[in-house]
Chains A and B, each alone.
Chain A
């Protein structure tokens, strides 16, 4: 038998049929929906169709979830979005993680946390960062509203199989360097469309050494490099994370699952359409300077001069610098920020909060900031560990779980012209609010920026990283 990639194995396990034109009809094991899925439900209702598999569909309130004053939602448009999801979930018999549920949180955090996400599954959600779940060795990708309606109605999805790409990161990450930095490093190298049309599998000793949290951060950001799929072969770290989760397999099912998951890796001789190799030792704490995740550099670098760049990228760089209010040729480090944000499906997990707290412990923030954990469960755990006190003692706001300032749909916005050091995933123009200036970085780097009031190489903070 020919050697197969992890992508081949996952694809084969879900392919119901392949049309002559190459489009595959795939079986969907889990469908995650949120308030933004209202267009999909409306399309289903317009056809009068039932939900094909309510037991495989899970609903989460996250994009519009208020992080404060949940009892009385002030904005009627936000209240309506949440109510619509409640109605749709109730009508179709879908399990809903509602605002006051102890397991509420961001869809890509709740899925893994509840054991909804497992190795070997195909997972869809009407959200591009669905690639997060690939960290478990799942085939997970974001879809649009028409496709959401299709999955609701049929529990299947049409897809053309992407090409296989492998990113190998060997060696050990230097102190202060995280999965976020690996992602920003490869995206800045290849560009935001660098992995377009490809499913990225991450391998190498540096990847194996990552926790599940780190792996999720890395797969989450795959979409920012143009890949719809990011994946990592499951191993003991994966199984240890999954075991005992509420909806994870139990008893003989668990044993059967473990046996199946053991086959989920690329065969030794499997061929990839593209390969990229990085040395972990070369990666530094990275920050973005522009309005695209590819516009990222090590914190030790200087802000580029558009004239020195590839002519194809010079104009975009000049416009980005203008929007960001930055001067070419000056060091990135030392750029004053107005506020900080820690949260999102990229970096709102317990490990992220611990890393930020390690920097903030015993220190005061010079600028205001908001910390919104990825889920209510993470919030509770952080409070049990006393992390919330570290944050509030530093002068930062500790809020409830949701997408919050990652996208600002719930009203948590960065004001026009303000500069925010953010642990999120998109520094697009206006992403955090009209005219907002976003710098992406790891949670520990956000914490360092809070302490000094400017973009800072956390390795230089006196007393180290905690």
Chain B
């Protein structure tokens, strides 16, 4: 995963609360290998009518170039399916701005280079206001955790560890392997002090 520090793109407003992971990618698409690309599955049932045609009135459909999604509370709540993040990434989204995120979604997002930018209610209202007329240019900085839209400079919240991880494109497996001695020592000690914590031999 490549790191990034600033992103310039277009923000689009999706004024819906609780867009859960079942909506981000319906379960029926999840047997697809990642290499096939998940972008078309993003919000599949919301974006399309019963016949499968794209709804012209759905915000994202008119702005395929948008790379920043501004939405409401509870984004990514629900299942742990990382495919929800793949669908966003493969559709070109780099950041999602919302008042709150599902915990597992947010962590999956950071693991894939997607920024879950949390904003307070007032900031959220300001951004929604700025996007009423349609998609607009935005610049996102991980360094000072700020969003710029025209003259507006607005803050977002992000765990410091996650901000670093996004910037460096760190992979946790690499980081963890540096702690191998600690891990082995811990496992040995646990095996001694709590042998019951290993599965019993079957009779």
Contacts and interface: CB of A to CB of B under 8 A. Distances in A.
B98 to A, nearest CB: 11
Interface in B51-93: 73-74, 77-83, 85
A193 B161 contact: no
Nearest to A154: B176
Interface string B13-24: 000111010110
B173 A153 contact: yes
Interface residues of B, number: 58
B183 A156 contact: yes
A197 interface: yes
A133 to B, nearest CB: 14
A81 interface: yes
Interface stretch (B4-12, B28-36, B132-140, B146-154): B28-36
Contacts of B20: 292, 426, 428
Which of B16, B46, B161, B197 is most buried by chain A, counting CB atoms within 10 A of its CB?
B197
Nearest to B202: A246
Contacts of B177: 154
B31 A64 contact: yes
Contacts of B16: 316, 319
A77 interface: yes
A144 B173 contact: no
B31 A81 contact: yes
A196 B28 contact: no
A252 B179 CA distance: 33
Given A120-B197, A156-B183, A149 B80 contact: no
B159 A160 contact: yes
A435 B100 CA distance: 26
Contact of B161 (A22, A120, A426, A429): A22
B76 to A, nearest CB: 11
- Tell me which of B18, B46, B111, B172 has the highest count of chain A C-beta atoms within 10 A of its own C-beta: B18
Interface in B142-178: 159-161, 164, 172-173, 176-177
A250 interface: yes
B77 A192 contact: yes
Given A192-B18, A408-B27, A429-B23, A42 B79 contact: no
Contact of B186 (A27, A80, A116, A158): A27
Interface stretch (A121-129, A362-370, A387-395): A121-129
A150 interface: yes
A30 B200 CA distance: 13
Closest 9 CB pairs of A and B: A144-B108, A146-B111, A257-B196, A249-B196, A145-B82, A144-B82, A253-B196, A142-B80, A428-B22
Interface of A: 13, 16-17, 19, 21-23, 25, 27, 29-30, 36, 39, 42, 47, 49, 55-56, 64, 77-78, 80-81, 115-116, 118, 120-121, 126-128, 142-147, 149-150, 153-156, 158, 160, 192-193, 196-197, 226, 228, 246-250, 253-254, 256-257, 260, 291-292, 313, 315-316, 319, 407-409, 416, 426, 428-431, 434-435
